[in-house]
Structures are given as structure tokens and as C-alpha cells.
Structure 1
Amino acid sequence: MKYDIVVVGAGIVGLASAYQLLRQQPKLKVAIIEKEAQTATHQTGNNSGVIHSGVYYKPGSLKATNCRKGYEKLLEFCNQEEIPYELCGKIIVATDRKELPALERIYQRGKENGLDQISRMSAEELKNKEPYVSGIEGLWVPYAGIINYKKVAQKIADKIREAGGRLFFNEEVKSIQAFGSGQIIQTDQSEYSTKLLVNCAGLYCDKIAQMAGQQVNVRIIPFRGEYYELKKEKEHLVKNLIYPVPDPSFPFLGVHFTRMMDGGIEAGPNAVLAFKREGYQKTDFDLKEFYEAISWPGFQKVAAKYWQTGLGEMYRSYSKAAFTKALQRLLPEIKEEDLKPGGAGVRAQACDKNGGLLDDFKILEDRRSIHVLNAPSPAATSSLAIGETIADITLKHF
């Protein structure tokens, strides 16, 4: 089968890339290859369903610019396609005076990123928004919201089909070979000839890039995020979204409370090393993938630097009491018996050889391929903007 462009991965970034390509050049022959049976099976379908505002991100970074652009594009798409969402707003809570400088930095970044309606909050104002929260100061971010990204992904897939694009499921890429000016992609089911490959393979993006002959200087390290859910009788403790002030040296936001679009309240996630790339359960283990992670020089440097943080996250993974204690910093009334096991997601975190956990998006290209090698949160919010960026890069080749 011959195509102009083959996208690997039917998560929301891969779908958005194909969608934006077909919007700009409807005559292109575009296909998406996905190893699972449906769209949004991994990171897209297992995140917390938050519409991010762009308040945290360094002004001028790909994260900041794509989040703000993607936010507007996401809302416009949802309005057009009648996908439900709610801009309920969120609070970021400082529980200790040591967190106030970091809270001020977030406030200033938000302002620089164009979020004019964010505001500082006193302890009393925090209580007005979230009566059960404990904090000394906070930020009110009215732009934040909730959504079901699986529904967004499904609708984008529908639009791709309407535009003439093809989606192929249950096909895992096994090899990629240069052929003339293009590439031959061999799956376990079929063979595809394409002028250009767009790699949006998430947890396996580095593997796909290596198959395509790309010199990859990062490795994907899988971090599992585990959630609890509040029991029904305790859902009144949380009105909307409650976040802590994140550790500025660690690329995770910390355990928080999220009201979900389809009902219920999530508490979490933590961030623990997964023992396989799609390791959603504590017992999931793949020796080869685990060894690849721990033998990577960059991960060893990360482990040496953050071993105490890592041990704390691992302890909370196995101790409900410890997890509850972390949540009690925000909501002191939460008790162990108020929590029931929730789901889990695995984040594809790119790590360079020097021990850097990449915080920004990372896109590489050569004359035959484009590779999205780091697309962490807020990638779902940013997806239509990232897809537009990838489409622009891709169309330079045609």
C-alpha cells in the first residue's frame, strides 16, 4: 500500500497530526498505523482529563506556545463537534511558606503566557473556592477545565476518515527501511510504502526512531502514575481541581484532586518507575525493557540525583497510608477509608544521556521522517497545535 504520509500511533498527537495534514492538503494520501485495537489506548486514554491553561510553562517554550494555541483550538473543535467539556477552574495551593517563591514564579509565568485572569488568593479566598482545603496562599486559574480526551480522539479519527485518511489497527511496526526517496514500513500484518514517516508512537517513539535510522540521544523512561478515587460519600470534599505547588526540579505536578467529566473525583497521580513501558500494574515486568531503562546513563544520573524523591514515590505506591498523608497536605479531612483504588497511566518521559528529564516537547526531523520524541503533559491540551506544527514541518517536504 502506497501513501504520501504514514503516521505511527493513534494517540491524540498522531491523530491531530493526520487531521491537520488533511485540513491543509486534502489531496494527500495519509494513513495511521496503530498496534492497539482502537484510538487513545495509552497516554491519551489514561490521563486525568484536564484542560491545561499553560500557567506552569517557561514563556517562549514549545510547551507554553503550543499549550496556549492548542487550548484555543481544542475548545473551538469541541464547540464545533459538540464534545462536552467544562472550564471549572483550578486552585494551586501553597501549604508551606517555603513554597511561596515557587507560587510567585508560576503566577509570573502565567501572566507572561497571556493568562490575564489568574489571581493570587489568600487562605480565606481558598476556603471560599474549596471549603475543605488547607493552604496559606494560592492561585486561581479560571482557564483550567475537564474533558474526556478519548471522546476527542474518537471524533478526530472520524474527521480523518471523512477526509479520506485511513486508520489501520492491530498492526505493530516491525521494521522500517529506506527505499529510494521514501520508506518501507513492515508491520506484523502488512507492508506500507510512504514518502514520509511521522512518528507519534509515545512510549515506543525512541524505538520507532531508531528503526528509521535516526540517531537518538534520548531514551523513553516509563513512569507510572497511580490514582485513587474518592468514595461517593466523600466527593463533596472537592468542588473542582486542587493542585499543590509542584517541585520545580521534578517534571511532575504532584498528587492532586481532579473532578472527572464523567463523574467522580480522582486523587493522584504519584510517579514511579514502571518496570515495562506499558506497565500499568505494579506486577507488570519486562526484563529487556527494565534493563534498557536502568542501564541508560541518563537514568542512572537521575536516580543518583532524585533517589530520595523516587523512594518516597515508590513507598506511596505500596502504602495507602503514605499516599493518604500526601493528600492530607491539601485536604486534611481525607482518610484512608475514603479512598478506593482507581486507574493508572504510564508517562513516556524522555531522558537524555546527561540525566536531563526533558521538560519541553522534542521533535526531530530528517528528509524521510519526523519524530515526536517527547510530548508529555500538556500534550493532550496542545494536540491540535502540535499537530499543526508537525503538519507545517511535514509539508515542507512536499
Structure 2
Amino acid sequence: MSRTDTSVVVVGGGIVGMAVARELAGSGNRVRVVEKETAVAAHQTGRNSGVIHSGLYYKPGSLKARLCVAGADSMKRFAADHGIAYDVPGKLVVATDDRQVGALRELQRRGDANGVPSTWLGPAEARAVEPHVRCVAALHVHSTGRVDYAAVTRTLADLVASQGGEVLLGRQVTWIDETSSGVVVGTDHGDLHADLLVNCAGLHSDRVARLGGLDPGVRIVPFRGEYHELDEAHADLVQGLVYPVPDPDLPFLGVHLTRGLDGTVHAGPNAVLAAAREGYGWTTVSGRDLLETVTWSGFRPLARTYWRTGAAEVARSVSRRRFAAALRRLVPELPTEALRPAPAGVRAQAIDRSGRLVDDFHFARSARQFHVLNAPSPAATASLEIARHVAAELGA
């Protein structure tokens, strides 16, 4: 197939799907994006804290490390080129007691291996950056930035259209049939014929893979990320981005504080198992989604391994006092009454059959299908590089 005559259907209108569509359309391919919502960036992309991650945390040599570091640079260039507001304030990762210093040193080692610059700070030096932080040591990660990922996604959609592609909103994929000559994508608004299909469906990516006849080997398990905001009277307690030392056994970064481009300070996310793939609140329950989670072979070993962690997350979820106490380990002056509920997000986390939380980006493919099966944070940061990776794998 020529690079200039391939037709591609991309499933999913989040930032990864739109980045892939733009990359393929820019190579002369005829691209159509299918998105079940009536707007792009409706789920993970539009419900995060807007951080351009540096690549500090990820195992050296992993796809996450390589694509995040490159993606941070390309995302900043994209924002600058297209007039999208962004900045690069850097962030502090703080050790709040001596037991965390070794893990902080390991983070700096990983960052050095990944090409991520950071500076080791003592308590007084950390307070010079964030006057209200309490710590025994900190890493100042200089390349961390902020951007509006929903605005990036809308710009990508405009670029796809300008390159002759289509973004088909309000269409849900219902079946997929791959043949030797192409792939047919059935939707609730008619069928689409293409040479290739790329699945970037996020929270539903494993289901789309199964519709295409693949056994993805993983199940998407939704974790709700619950946020609060600081009220205006206490927003000045945080000048930029303040993170704890994360648990190295989990792909989550812990409850942190991030000042957005608009000056709003987000606190979170807490991470609790959601009862629906689009379960943005405790009252949203999907019987199908919940049944698929608890009957997955990996769920029981996952629950056995992390039940204490899960119980602590639930306790923070139902108690604003506990949530604030976690934040006060970073900023002791932060009162409980400063917290205001903010919109939640849901992380599409792939779990394998053994109960392992899949840490790296994860893909699967057949002759005419390519499936992005694990792309939670830092996928937004890395989205332009994920798109290049997918295009290279397809040769399209």
C-alpha cells in the first residue's frame, strides 16, 4: 500500500486518537475518526490536570520513558506553533521524611538515565521555590510544564479536517470485520470501509479489540481520579506543581497539588476503583462494566495484592479530612476547609491475566488493525510521539 492512498479509520477522539489521525493524514492517508461522544476530548483528555510530564518516573528504556521525554518537547513546540497557552514552571517532588530519601534518589537516577534534568534541593532551597512546602529533600524537575490538552485536541481535529480527513462525532462502533483486502467498521450510523483500523478508544479499547477478533490479553479496569480545588483564600499556598514521592509498585503518582494556567490549584487525584468505565461519581454504576471487572482473571490477585492501598484510597474518597491530611504532608498550612470538590476523571488502566497493573504503553495488532491498549498518563504528554510510533509500525 502506498503512503498516499491508504484509508484509515481511527476509533477514539481523545488526544491520542486525534494525534494519530493528524499524523496519518499528514502523510497523505485518507483518515476518518469515529468518536461516540458529540465532542472530542470528552473523557481522559479533558479531565486531567494539564501537566506536561517530564519523563522522570518511568523505567529507562521503556516506551513510556522514551515517548514521554520526546513528547514533552514536541507538545511544547506544538502549543507554541499553534498559539495554545502553555508554560514550563518546573515542579517539586518532595520527600517528607527520611524514609523517602532513597526513593527520591532513585527517581533522580531514573531521570538522569532518561535525559530529564533535575536539581537536588535541601529544605531551605525547596522553600525558596515553594515557600509553604515542608520536606527533608526535594527534586526540582525543570522541564515539567502545563497546557490545555482539550485545546490541543481540538486543534488536532482542525488539522485533520484541513488535511482532508473527517471527524465523525456521535458514532459508536458496534462491529468490526477484517478481511484480506481491508476492514469494515460497523457503527450505529452506517458502515465504514478502510484499509486499516487504529483503535485509540481509551476506556473501551479492550472491547474494540475484541470486536476486531483479537484477544487483547488485558482488561481495562477503571480507576476514578478524584480532585478537589483550593479556595481563592488559600490558592497562594501553592505557586506551581508539588508532588510526593510515588509508590514505586504503582503506576499512580499520589495525591499532589498543581496550579493550573488559570491560577486554580487542583488537589489530587485520589484513585478508587470505579463502578463504571465512565463512572465519574460514586452513584454511577454500570452492571456490565462492574461484572467485566470483577470476573476478569486478574482482578482477584490484584485485589489481594493492593487491598490495603485500595482501602486507604476509599477512606480518602469519603473523608475530606483524610484527603486534606494527605495534602498537609506536603503543605502543612493547608486547612481542610480550603478544599472544594472538583470534577473527577477516570484512568483507563490495563490489567493482565495475572493481576499485574500494566505499567508501559501496550499495543496489539493484526494484519489490518492496530490497537492502543494501555495509554493512561503520560499519554497526553506523549501523544504526538505515540502517533509517530503508531504510524511507523503501520508503515502508513
Into which bin does the TM-score normalised by the smaller protein fall? over 0.9
| CA offsets 1:302-355 (integer angstroms, 9 cap, x no match) | 110110000000111111111111111101111111111111000000000111
Contact 1:3 1:31 in 2 (8 A): no
Contact 1:3 1:193 in 2 (8 A): no
Structure 1 gaps of 5+ residues are: none
- 1:273 equivalent to 2:277? Answer no
Matches within 5 A, 1:151-300: 151-300=151-300
- 1:9 equivalent to 2:22? Answer no
Distance (whole Å) between structure 1 residues aligned to residue 84 and residue 119 of structure 2: 29
Contact 2:216 2:364 in 1 (8 A): no
Q: CA RMSD in A?
A: 1.1
Q: Match for residue 324 of structure 1?
A: 324
Distance (whole Å) between structure 2 residues aligned to residue 159 and residue 230 of structure 1: 36
Distance (whole Å) between structure 1 residues aligned to residue 74 and residue 180 of structure 2: 37
Q: Match for residue 45 of structure 1?
A: 46
| CA offsets 1:98-143 (integer angstroms, 9 cap, x no match) | 111110110001111112x311110111111111111100100010
TM-score by length of 1: 0.97
Q: Match for residue 73 of structure 1?
A: 74
- 1:64 equivalent to 2:65? Answer yes
Q: Match for residue 393 of structure 1?
A: 393
User: Residue 270 of structure 1 aligns to a residue in which SS?
Assistant: strand
Shift, 1:3, TM fit: 7.1
Distance (whole Å) between structure 1 residues aligned to residue 222 and residue 138 of structure 2: 31
Distance (whole Å) between structure 2 residues aligned to residue 99 and residue 390 of structure 1: 37
Q: Match for residue 36 of structure 2?
A: 35
Q: Match for residue 20 of structure 1?
A: 23
Q: Match for residue 308 of structure 1?
A: 308
User: Residue 222 of structure 2 aligns to a residue in which SS?
Assistant: strand
What one-letter code is carried by the residue in structure 1 that aligns with 2:382? S
Q: Match for residue 360 of structure 2?
A: 360
Shift, 1:376, TM fit: 1.3
What one-letter code is carried by the residue in structure 2 that aligns with 1:109? R
User: Residue 174 of structure 2 aligns to a residue in which SS?
Assistant: strand
What one-letter code is carried by the residue in structure 2 that aligns with 1:15? M
- 1:337 equivalent to 2:333? Answer no
Shift, 1:194, TM fit: 1.0
Distance (whole Å) between structure 1 residues aligned to residue 80 and residue 49 of structure 2: 21
Q: Percentage identity across aligned positions? A: 46
User: Residue 75 of structure 2 aligns to a residue in which SS?
Assistant: helix
| CA offsets 1:72-91 (integer angstroms, 9 cap, x no match) | 11111111111110101100
Matches within 5 A, 1:125-164: 125-164=125-164
Contact 1:9 1:32 in 2 (8 A): yes
Contact 2:174 2:188 in 1 (8 A): yes
Shift, 1:181, TM fit: 2.0
Q: Match for residue 87 of structure 1?
A: 88
Distance (whole Å) between structure 2 residues aligned to residue 359 and residue 99 of structure 1: 22
